[in-house]
A = this chain, B = another copy of it.
Amino acid sequence: MQLRFAILGAGRIGQVHARAVAGTPGAKLVAIADPVAKAAESVQAAYGCDIRSIDAIVASADVDAVVICTPTDTHADLIERFTKAGKAVFCEKPVDLSLARVKACLTAVAANKGTVMVGFNRRFDPDFMGVKAAIDDGTIGTVEMVTITSRDPGAPPADYITRSGGIFRDMTIHDFDMARWLLGEEVETVQAAASVLTDKAIGELGDFDSVNVILRTATGKQAIITNTRRATYGYDQRIEVLGSKGMVYAENQGENRVVVADKSGFRSAPLLNFFMTRYIAAYANEIAAFVDAVNSGKDTPTTTHDGLMALALAEAALKSVAEGRTVKLAEVL
C-alpha cells in the first residue's frame, strides 16, 4: 500500500522533495500546491501529479501525508491544520522562528495525536549515518568531543537573511541538531562568538557571517561548531567525533575523484558546491524514513521536539554573543 503525498510549496526545496517522493518505493506523489502557477506546473509536468489548493488538499481523501515547503512563517499553522485533518506531516525546518510559537504548535500536535517529522536532512546522509553507527556500536567508546565544520560556498541573498532569523537560526540550526544527535545528551551551556568578515552588508542587516559555538553537556561532553557563509572551495561539511576508544569522521565530497599531477603538485576538484547535490541521498533517505515511520506507526526519527531544541540552542547562542557570557540552555527554554 502506497503512502499518498501532497507537497505544499513548489520552490527549490519543494522540488527536491517532489523528486524524493516520486523516487521512493511505497510513496506516491498525488498533488502539488503553490500560489505561483508556473512553479506548480513544473512539478506537475515532471511527475504527473495534480495541482490543488492547500484547502483542497486538507479535504482530499486520497492524500495521506503532506510535505510542508512553504515560507517559514506558515509552518506552524500548516502543521496544526494538517495534523487536525489526520494527515501525516513532514515539515521543513524550522517549525517557527519563535520558541513560544513552536511550543504552542507542539501542544496542538499532541492534542491532535499528529505525526510530524521535521526535516533535519543531515541525519540521513549515508556518511553521517556511518559516523553515528560507529558511536552506537561502541567502536569509538564514550563520546567526548564532537567537531562540526559547516561552511556555505556563499551567502544567501540579503532578503533571505532578513527573513531567516539570522545565521544561528538558519544555518547553525542544522549543526545544533547534529550536535545533539551525536553527543547523545542534551546541551547544558552554550558559548558563541560571532563576526562579520565576508560582507559588511550582512552586518548591516544585523546578522553575522562567521561564528564559532561551544556546547557543553552536564557530564562535560563538548561540541564545537564552526560556520561561515563563504568557503571558496565549495560546500564544506565535516563531522568528527572523538571518543574514549577512538575517533570517527566523514570525509568531504569533491565534485569528482580526478587528480592531476604536474610540476606544480597534485590538484583535485573543489567540493560539491550546492546543498541539493551534496545531500541528494539524504533527502531521499529522510522521505523513506518518514514513509516507514508512518506505515509502521513508529516514532519519526526527527520530531518537532528536535526542532524546538535546535531553535533553543540558536536562541542561547545569540544571547551568549549579546551578553558576552556562557548561557545555560534552561534560560531560554
Say which residue of B145, B196, B254 sits within 8 Å of A220 (CB atoms): B196
Bound Cα distance A245, B198 (Å): 10
Interface residues of A in 239-273 (CB under 8 A from B): 242, 244-254, 256-270
Interface size, chain A (Cβ < 8 Å): 65
What 19 new A-B contacts, CB under 8 Å, besides A198-B244, A250-B256? Answer: A131-B258, A144-B197, A144-B228, A145-B210, A145-B228, A195-B216, A195-B221, A196-B220, A224-B224, A228-B242, A231-B247, A246-B260, A246-B261, A247-B262, A248-B258, A265-B270, A266-B267, A320-B326, A324-B326
**Does A134 lie within 8 Å of B254, measured CB to CB?**
no
Bound Cα distance A249, B179 (Å): 24
Bound Cα distance A251, B269 (Å): 12
A212-B210 contact given A195-B222, A265-B233, CB 8 Å threshold: no
A262-B246 contact given A145-B228, A256-B127, CB 8 Å threshold: yes
As a 0/1 sequence over residues 296 to 333 of chain A, the CB contacts with chain B under 8 angstroms (1 = contact) are: 00000000000000000000000010001110000000
A24 contacts B by Cβ under 8 Å: no
Q: Could you pull out 24 A-B pairs where Cβ atoms are within 8 angstroms?
A: A126-B256, A130-B269, A139-B260, A144-B195, A144-B197, A144-B210, A144-B228, A145-B210, A191-B191, A191-B193, A193-B216, A195-B221, A195-B222, A210-B220, A224-B224, A232-B245, A232-B246, A233-B247, A246-B260, A246-B261, A261-B270, A265-B269, A266-B267, A266-B269
